[in-house]
Amino acid sequence: MAGLNDIREVNRLRLLEELRRAGVADRSELARQTGLSRATVATLVADFVARGAIVEESERNGAPGRPSNRLRLDPSAATVLGVDFGHRHVRVALADLSATVIAERRIDLDVDAGSKTALDTTAELAATLMAEAGVGGDRVLGAGMGIPAPIDRRSGRMPSASILANWEPIRPAEELAHRLGLPVRVANDADLGALGESTYGAGRGFSDLLYVKLSAGFGAGMILRGALHTGATGIAGEIGHLGVDPLGVICRCGNRGCLETVASGYGLRHVLAPTHGPGLTTARLLALADAGDTTVLAALQRAGTMVGAVLGALCTALNPAAIMIGGDLGAGSAPLRDAIRAELRRTALPPTGDVVLHAATLGDRAEVLGAITLALDETEWLRSADLVAVARQWTRA
């Protein structure tokens, strides 16, 4: 009877997956979307409801006749982890199947210094959050993880040896998976910011969206036609390494005059070192701008003009509907965004410059929420192993 059990299991997974994708559905919608018969759907739903994996609520819409029974996954049936590495911090969050964060922690950490401490610390944070929330390892499906460097999707490695140089030559997802005992998906941090903003933030409702992360580093994530666009190898969006100044300083990528050397936290600190010393933090820089420091405001104006020219070119090339400016520097500085907007409007081919442009709304949580989305949306690997395991648990007595 193994064959019959296999078919039942495949059907169960199709139903669970469809319900997770849809959020809420009734039995006839599930039958239509999965291609299963109404009788099969009714049997499977009854089984899941009895075991608490699916919850059912009656809904009367004022229409005569039987109420329509709406079904949804019990969000607490399983969880995922989201991990966001910056150059100077790590944030870990535990979320249920509805992407509601149950527990979250952020700590300052010199991530650039090396992968071992950063990944060990992350695994400890994850264990702490699971213990706090009372979630056992068997209830965690997997993790999504963002890192502040280009990631080659084919190899899972970081192809630019000089960005996160002390992490070389590891595959970050494999290393974290080994520590957590869970499947881990990795993506670039700005890509996850784009995913977070477009799913939960100001980017909702825009199918073509650019998310620009202006922080210690500088990168962008692109949502095109409703999906994250990472290019042929996963590197698309590294606009911080577009050359904007042939006479500029050497960038940590090895090229000269990259946008990041004038318009990121690193870049502005370097630009302002002669007048403000070598240790200018982004928080201090933003406070000086608020207080009207003319040198700082001029540096922000110049940075914004260079970013605006690049985004204007991207508007002409890609014609997005919206641009969200995130990261502590980008979301925190109105003068910087004003300069970006002015130069973008001046340089983009009309009407592509009439793009919605404002600060990202999720603040420094966009990336971790994107990591949670990545973990939940990767149904391919959930299907392959872990949702199967959870479904088996749900069908045990």
Binding site residues, Zn ion, CB under 5 A: 241, 251, 253, 255, 258
Q: Which residues contact 16 (CB under 8 A, 6 or more apart)?
A: 48, 53, 73, 387, 391
Our measurement of the distance from residue 70's CA atom to the centroid of its chain's CA atoms, rounded to an integer in Å, reads 30
CB nearer Zn ion, residue 135 or residue 258: 258
CB nearer Zn ion, residue 241 or residue 276: 241
Helix (H) or strand (E) holding 11: helix 2-22
Please answer whether residues 153 and 374 qualify as being in contact, where contact means their C-beta atoms are separated by less than 8 angstroms. no
Residue with tokens 């609520």: 57
Beta-bridge partner residues of 228 = 223
Q: From the CB of 329, what's the least distance to Zn ion, in Å? A: 17
CB nearer Zn ion, residue 11 or residue 261: 261
Q: From the CB of 220, what's the least distance to Zn ion, in Å? A: 14
CB nearer Zn ion, residue 199 or residue 264: 264
Q: Which of 27, 15, 74 is nearest to 50 (CA)?
A: 74
Please answer whether residues 19 and 48 qualify as being in contact, where contact means their C-beta atoms are separated by less than 8 angstroms. no
140-147 and 79-85 as β-strands: parallel, antiparallel, unpaired?
A: parallel
Q: Give the dihedral sign, CA 164/167/168/173.
A: negative
Q: Which of 152, 321, 362 is nearest to 238 (CA)?
A: 152
CB nearer Zn ion, residue 36 or residue 309: 309
Q: From the CB of 19, what's the least distance to Zn ion, in Å? A: 45
Q: From the CB of 352, what's the least distance to Zn ion, in Å? A: 26
Q: From the CB of 250, what's the least distance to Zn ion, in Å? A: 9
CB nearer Zn ion, residue 258 or residue 331: 258
Q: From the CB of 243, what's the least distance to Zn ion, in Å? A: 8
Residue with tokens 């990795």: 186
